[in-house]
A and B are shown apart, each in its own frame.
Chain A
Amino acid sequence: MTIQVKRENLPQATVVSIGGSVDIYSSPELRGELKVALDGKVKRLVIDMGGVSFVDSSGLATLIEALQKVQAYSGTLLLCNLSAKVLGVFQLANLDRIFQIRETRAAALEG
């Protein structure tokens, strides 16, 4: 597989850490891991993208889907640790205006 996904339940938030490529091939695996958190309606979901080397439109679609589900139950979803390359793809799609993006995991856990 081209993706690594790890889920941790911390006191402040549920953190899903992603590594590798988030593309049309790996997105189903990410969607499955996020579903567990979303089905549990976690109040605060932090997606740590520090290990992500590549993201395509399928990866973006998976994250938009998660954001909309979290918003539907009035939770919060934050992204953190995006590399310049990955952030650039969000910017190309104007999604940096839609997602709450923090530079570090600590900042995302804070708010």
Chain B
Amino acid sequence: MADPKHGIRVTIPSDVSYLEPIRTLIREIAALAGLHRDAASEVELAVTEGCANVIRHCYCNSDREPIDLTFAFAAGVFEVRIDDYGKFVDPSRIKSRPLDEVRPGGLGVHLMQKVMDEVTYTKNSWGGTSLTMRKRLARPGQEGPRKDRSGR
């Protein structure tokens, strides 16, 4: 998937103040990829949640660690990969809280899974976690949110 002709890679510090500029960047890249505005908003949300999880759980809120973000688009798919250099997190331990258990927290993973078509965790070559999220580009005439947002 990663085609250097159709992608961009940036490294940011694990500092939450960088997430707003990253969302601005996503809007620009998504426009270049031909992603619908609503779909781009969903990618913004998924990347914010993915990075927030890295900062909180992998880097224990340290704001000085690197996070690599790789955006690629080809063959009707927009792909984002988030790599950290922390400890690999066992994907089976990454869970959302049940939605009927109303309490603050535990919704980030659920939101990522709802807005993206594919969410996968693998161990990267540095021993950290690589989170890859994919969203299919809507064909002309199929624009707009692809899923029933409410999940109902």
Tell me the number of A-to-B contacts counted with CB atoms below 8 Å: 76
> Which of A7-15, A61-69, A73-81 is near enough to bind chain B?
A61-69
Q: Is there contact, CB below 8 Å, between A24 and B52?
A: yes
In angstroms, how far is the closest chain A Cβ from the Cβ of B22? Answer: 11
A98 contact set on B, CB distance < 8 A = 102
B56 CB to nearest A CB, Å? 8
Q: Which of A65, A94, A98 has the most CB of B within 10 A?
A: A94
- Cα–Cα distance between A89 and B115 once the two chains are bound (Å): 10
Chain A: interface residue total (CB-CB under 8 A): 25
A residues 1-31 with Cβ under 8 Å of B?
2, 21, 23-25
Interface of B: prevailing SS: helix
Which interface residue of B38, B107, B149 has the most chain A CB atoms within 10 A?
B107
Contact at A94–B150, with CB atoms within 8 Å? Answer: yes
Interfacial residues, chain B to chain A (CB-CB below 8 A): 16-17, 19-20, 23, 38, 41, 44-45, 48-49, 52, 55, 99-100, 102-108, 110-111, 114-115, 145, 149-151
